[in-house]
Structure 1
Amino acid sequence: MAIVGAGPAGIYAADSLLKSDADVSIDLIERMPAPFGLIRYGVAPDHPRIKGIVTALHKVLDRPGVRLLGNIDYGTDLKLDDLREFYDAVIFSTGASADRPLDIPGIDLDGSYGAADFVSWYDGHPDVPRTWPLNATSVAVLGVGNVALDVARILAKTADELLTTEIPHNVHQGLKASPVTDVHVFGRRGPAQAKFTPMELRELDHSPNVEVIVQPEDIEFDEGSIAAIRGSKQVDMVVKTLQEWAIRDHGTRPKRLHLHFFHSPTEVLGEDGKVAGLRTERTELTGDGNVRGTGEFHDWDVRAVYRAVGYLSSHLPEIPFDHLSGTVPHQAGRVLDLDENQLPGVYVTGWIKRGPVGLIGHTKGDAAETVTSLLADADTLRAPTQGHPDAILSFLAERGVPFTTWDGWGRLDAHERALGEPHGRERIKVVDRHEMVRVSRLNG
């Protein structure tokens, strides 16, 4: 069978299948030349603990019965009918990599960016430009999730602080030239409704160059907030940290990262087609943890705006898609067509199944549910017309697709580690797709 997408969701699905009693062989088909998806291209480089998840994923890909086929674009190099010709079932686990839109005036001005695009740049994604326009001294980040904090932290830190990570050379040079001194993070609701985790929050204060500032007037709770604090240890830890920061004296670190609550963005202000500020409306709690506008507006002197209001999955060719939720319609992982009938042999897991919420580990439950459905359908699956394992390899070769393999990842991994070694770094990530493919296929 095939799994399209070799990020955590796809690899967890493969692991779940391998642990079942089924006699199964799995091809993980990945658009990038390298595996690991979100871990490689969606997690900030200064998060080595999260990137440590790669160790567990690596063990799955190392097992017999699993094969990685990278640098293959579903919809271009392979279509659904092609997959059905070579596999009796396919699971789509392509994740979410686009930015959810924010419909306020001025959001399309020059200097207004989506967080996902910025994350792709600083993570060295091969399909985005090598440069990023870092020319503002004061910037705004909209959203209070973990991605918003990642974006804010990368913007606020000095570039040299990141030299212990796998950050690519072009990203280091871009950040080194950045003039930013102040990063403002805005949340529409209060501290008890913030979506970031305690670890992500505390990491903001670890930099010797960044002063984290919380205004005392933003520490406010209603009955709904108090219930949330009492009902969740995680919320309680977040709130206590923010309270501590709100009452402490400000230091003299050269960069400042401001966390603002009860500010709802209403307009990105412009001048000559470029971002010239941000307007927010002050909000107030309504008793149940929600907020309403007060009619009091604030204009902030920022010259760049990053929206981190959520990721969105992309529509896959020939696969039904709910554009409102940004997910594939399904029933326990079984993909449903427009008439809500099961699409035979087609399944879905991960963020494209349930939306981009929760932590990476939460995709394990998605995978288990989908695999349970697939195994229950095993007797009804249509056998592929070309079931030999080498058939798909011949097909790709005939089409001139320069696919990469698990052995190829081993070569690229060793190459990146060798690049980092002279500098005392674990690795330096290769950014150029052609170079990734060249190294992966060398003597392969």
Structure 2
Amino acid sequence: MTQANELPLQIRRNGLDPAEELARARDGEGVVRVETPWGLPGYLVCRHEDVRRVLTDPARFSSALTPPRGAVPLDPDELARLRAGQLIWSDPPEHTWLRRMLTPEFTVRRMRRLEPRIIEIVQTALDDLERAGKPADLVAHFALPVPSLVICELLGVPHADRAEFQDRSTRLLDTSLPAEELTAVRREDRAYMAGLVARAQADPGEDMLGMLVREHGDDLSTDELIGVAGQLLLAGHETTSNMLGLGTLALLRHPDQLAMIREDPARIEPAVEELLRWLSISQSPPPRITTTEVEIAGQVIPAGAMVICSLPAANRDPAFIGDPDRLDVTREAAGHVAFGHGLHHCLGAPLARMEMRIAFPLLLQRFPGLALADPYEQVDFRVFSFVFGLNSLRVT
């Protein structure tokens, strides 16, 4: 189950744990040279303090200068359309302007309005999981459908299109995809989102996309609306679905921790934070490009270099938290960087937390005998991806 050494260092895993060589890089030099999927040499930053420093300094570590991963040569107009509305590829002031429009929709108070509907969606998924019999695939019947349906309803995306956009999302995050195929998938995805935006512009509904058209249609270009909608759709189901699958696996591997959540659902809030820290499914935020020469962990990095932050290494840094490799759902894991840090901290974090706080206790209470149907060594991990996850998880 240990991942192949030919994988980029920043996405190597050993089962649920980061690869040992990643921990050695953090505890040794702290910054190591790596090859990147962008075809450029890069510097991998591994320590918690250094990762936070990179993510809070857009003046020296730019997101706007990062080239699209694996893109075949694009004409300037297509490249501009591809980057329009993409928060992850922007720096202030553009980033500040875009985020200010979206932040009100993702406040904790606004997310609480969704709670009754999320409970309904989770209960329906649990019914489906039970009907699937024994064994059943927890990913297909629970982990994927819950966040997918939530984000579809939030954005106004037809739920019938779920399988189609899930397939595209998986391919967009696949580090092994050839450049030509990746560019083709990007174009497919953009064409799909363009259709959604056109429908919203013609008849804006009560969903988030309709809100953006009504309230910001004069400020946002069509290309920016397409970019914003596409990014929210991708991020809104990929990360949470993989957290639900991997989080369940982690708890099944730690039955004492699972029992504490089942017996006292009030423990779920710190448990979610600890699972986020311990799993760190987002392997790294989008790389930054240095705008000037910088020094990190004693290593000089030249201007124009690519800097990649390892979130799994940072979240298991002994300098950040004691006994970092132990899963302990009772501890406070405040300060983890599972959602990133700084101005690019995940916009949808309140929604993701709410979905997990609802879904895990309901799952564990509904199925007190939940167990793996196959040996742990046969678990089907999703390896070649920027977002760590599971292809399937057979349970009984």
Q: Where is the strand percentage greater, Structure 1 or Structure 2? A: 1
TM-score in terms of structure 2 length = 0.25
Does 1 or 2 have the higher relative contact order (CA < 8 Å, sep 6+)?
Answer: 2
TM-score in terms of structure 1 length = 0.23
Q: Where is the helix percentage greater, Structure 1 or Structure 2? A: 2
